[in-house]
Structure 1
């Protein structure tokens, strides 16, 4: 479908694939052609859907990153495009795509989360990309043949950052639904760790499940870039001024402390080329007589200093 044979040439049905003029082009040129077709060309190609998609989880606040000096979300950066994967209400998904659509049309895993105001009810839900890129008109190229499909899929999945924000419960179902080829092509992921002082047991379980999957050899995921946001607490604008921050060496001991077990799973990442650790600062209560809150505030003040250095020493290039 990418060339027109002459009258003396065999038909496309019988002509060997390795004789295709397109496939005889250097790989670098083919990748440039694919990029023109399947990667976003302008910021509006990555904007959120105009249709509101409600989340199932009550505490799933999105901490979206902004482009430096602008109010535009990073998802609109065509140089480093981002796809935002979120847990959504199952009813909302059916309303958008139709209850009678077969699973083969939009097959995806469902999973259970704590959903109501008091977390006493569990509900079945699924995930959704809230900013599906506007490239559907060009995706027919992947059906040309197996070689082109593999090349396009690798370029497509390796070019995007998959942003789960605080919806870490969606990480495993989303990645598990991908083909092994697509999953192994992913190079960049972003997620956010909720405020440590407000962690709940099911939050810790979701974190553990997600990171075990991301770092397991059986999942075939080979990340090269990780963006880690951590919700930090600061009591007022000057709440960190007199707080003694942790050093990188302190975290060798703290990783085994009560409440820091989540860090042990994070340390399973290997061979990262790039790591971006940033504090997402929110107001929190003063420590007063609470040792747990005092530890949270001290850790929060250390995220972009001692903690970031510690993770770079342990995860980047190791």
Structure 2
């Protein structure tokens, strides 16, 4: 922060400042009073100030830090003179704090279940996250609590009620992380306009011995509400070809997924008839996989180009 302060000290005429970074609570970045003194003394022409700061994991961080931080951004300089508003979140399980200006200045955001979040803001009215385009959601059983989950205050119960405004109206890319022990329906934790989604990343862990049909059905329901989706990334090897085909709409155009057997690649290529590109990532060194699939595609008289290694195969398909 000292280096940044020295740099800003020689730019007194700056009118717009945007900062994104990490630091500790000892850093000036988390102290509104120090920012006020610096701006009044060195940046008198500053009209717009946007920032996003996040601490590293710290077991000593708690909710009291949030209240202290918010209080330092709550005087007349911030609220009345500049009308710069901030929000501060304490993520309980990660022991982290994130502090950001409102509206948020990032295009990506990590959505935390409300039971795991202590949040305060200097803005009294509800605000939407209109700048967010990419949303990451972790709903693994380690991130949720079946007893606490019903205490969520985030206004997202009516996700599919068109009369209910979306919290994230501009999101077009989703990243899901969860396992088959997740206790809720998927749509109850996401306040977005699903019709805008074009890309989805899946990181789902399925225990081979567990009953995961509930999660598959929930995911299928959510994907059916994404008519414009064209790209899917499957990041976990426990989601096999059969599960993937039962979840993801067949009209997608781009797919990246992990596979461990040749027949899984054939299932995927036969099911997703609209694919223009696909990348198969092998779970082990498998130099014979590409040769077998290339021979199979030629036999099917499918036009394609490819790039392969011992660990992956990329295909560009002509499905016209």
Q: Same fold (TM over 0.5)?
A: no
Structure of higher RCO (CA pairs closer than 8 Å, 6+ residues apart):
1
Larger strand percent: 2
**TM-score by structure 1 length?**
0.35
Larger helix percent: 1
